[in-house]
Amino acid sequence: MTQRQEFQTLQTFNDFEIREYAPCVIAEVRVTADYSVAASAAFGSLFG
């Protein structure tokens, strides 16, 4: 992960740009369970 993701400017307007960013994965955890259990387990895997 870099501080700045690579992108291509597709269109430029007065106050904003439309950008296309290269694909990247920031964090991913796979958990099989009911939502409330899975959310807690996934959070714990990432930050516990």
The length of the chain in residues reads: 48
pLDDT at 45: 87
pLDDT at 34: 92
DSSP code per residue over 1-48: --SS--EEEEEE-SS-EEEEEPP--S------S-HHHHHHHHHHHHH-
Please report, as a single letter, which amino acid is at residue 26: I
What is the pTM (predicted TM-score) of this model? 0.46
DSSP classification of residue 15: S
Sequence ranges of the domains in the chain:
7-47
pLDDT at 1: 52
What pLDDT digit, counting tens, does each position of 6-25 carry? 899 999 999 999 999 999 87
